[in-house]
């Protein structure tokens, strides 16, 4: 499969339709440990590297993303950066757009789904909306336990959660825990999980449930969805967005200059 590397992370160079088909294929086999799919945006990269592209602040998260079966580019800044780097990605595969399309394909292929994480009322609303459009969608379970990532957390704390998931025998496990929590938790329990495919969906179900409104399509295509989100929740998001944008700009400049230096050798 065609993969483009940015910041030592491989991105699968797929259209939205190709991404859905590739994910369904992974859900159709048997794999231990499970396949993992990440939808990576600017926040992922900042969580991995901080300010320094040559010294990741979270090497565990970086290694998890390097090992993912599929990595989708969920952010127009990353698409633009791939073009500047001379290795253009086809298009953005936004998690909030991908998820309903993937779940529709799961219903058509008789694949069962388990959802871990999220706010129960929001998840219930999302499921209700999804089933209005796709009545045959098979959700075998949902769970919203308290999950901590402290190094002092005993493995036994995860076992009841994993057992509840495995007992339902889903084809796909959706982790709605947010990054980096969902990736780190998957890494911690992956040897115990039996679903063929696990997908980190972050807050995508919040969009499905309309608990968080999405930007107009023209803003999504122009890479301005973050500006719409900032307008919706300025008090909560402005510090995070300013920090993420500054760090991403620093990382991108480092990447582009590194490429130019290597081209001269």
21-46 tens-digit pLDDT: 999 999 998 888 999 999 999 999 99
Scan for tokens 């997908």, then name that residue.
199
Write down the pTM of the prediction. 0.92
Q: Residue 246 pLDDT > 70, yes or no?
A: yes
In this prediction, residue 213 carries a pLDDT of 86
Both structure tokens of 206: 């919040």
DSSP 8-state symbol, 181: H
Task: Identify the bridge partners of residue 3 per DSSP, sorted by sequence position.
Answer: 12
Q: Residue 265 pLDDT > 70, yes or no?
A: no
In this prediction, residue 259 carries a pLDDT of 56
Task: Identify the bridge partners of residue 35 per DSSP, sorted by sequence position.
Answer: 197
Q: Residue 8 pLDDT > 60, yes or no?
A: yes
Length, in residues, of the chain: 265
pLDDT band, very low/low/confident/very high, at 125 (cuts 50, 70, 90) = very high
Between 260 and 203, the more confident residue is: 203
Q: Residue 257 pLDDT > 50, yes or no?
A: yes
For 35, the 3-state DSSP assignment is strand
Phi, psi of 172 (to 5 degrees): -135, 135
Scan for tokens 């991908």, then name that residue.
98
């Amino acid at each position: 499969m065609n993969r483009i590397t940015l910041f030592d992370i491989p991105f699968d160079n797929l259209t939205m339709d190709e991404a859905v088909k590739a994910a369904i294929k992974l859900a159709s086999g048997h794999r231990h440990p499970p396949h993992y799919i990440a939808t990576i945006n600017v926040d992922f990269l900042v969580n991995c590297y901080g300010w320094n592209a040559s010294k990741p602040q979270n090497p565990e998260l970086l290694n998890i993303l390097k090992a993912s079966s599929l990595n989708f580019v969920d952010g127009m800044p990353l698409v633009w950066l791939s073009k500047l780097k001379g290795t253009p990605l086809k298009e953005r595969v936004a998690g909030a757009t991908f998820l309903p399309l993937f779940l529709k394909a799961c219903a058509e292929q008789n694949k069962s789904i388990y959802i871990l994480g999220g706010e129960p009322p929001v998840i219930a609303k999302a499921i209700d909306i999804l089933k209005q459009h796709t009545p045959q969608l098979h959700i075998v379970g949902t769970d919203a336990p308290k999950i901590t990532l402290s190094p002092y957390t005993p493995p036994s704390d995860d076992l009841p959660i994993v057992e509840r998931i495995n007992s339902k025998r889903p084809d796909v496990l959706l982790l709605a825990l947010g990054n980096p929590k969902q990736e780190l938790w998957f890494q911690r329990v992956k040897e115990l999980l039996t679903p063929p495919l696990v997908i980190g969906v972050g807050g995508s179900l919040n969009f499905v449930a309309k608990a968080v409104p999405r930007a107009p399509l023209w803003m999504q295509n122009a890479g301005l969805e973050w500006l719409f989100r900032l307008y919706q929740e300025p008090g909560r998001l402005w510090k995070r967005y300013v920090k993420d944008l500054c760090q991403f700009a620093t990382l991108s400049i480092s990447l582009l200059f590194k490429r130019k230096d290597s081209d001269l050798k």
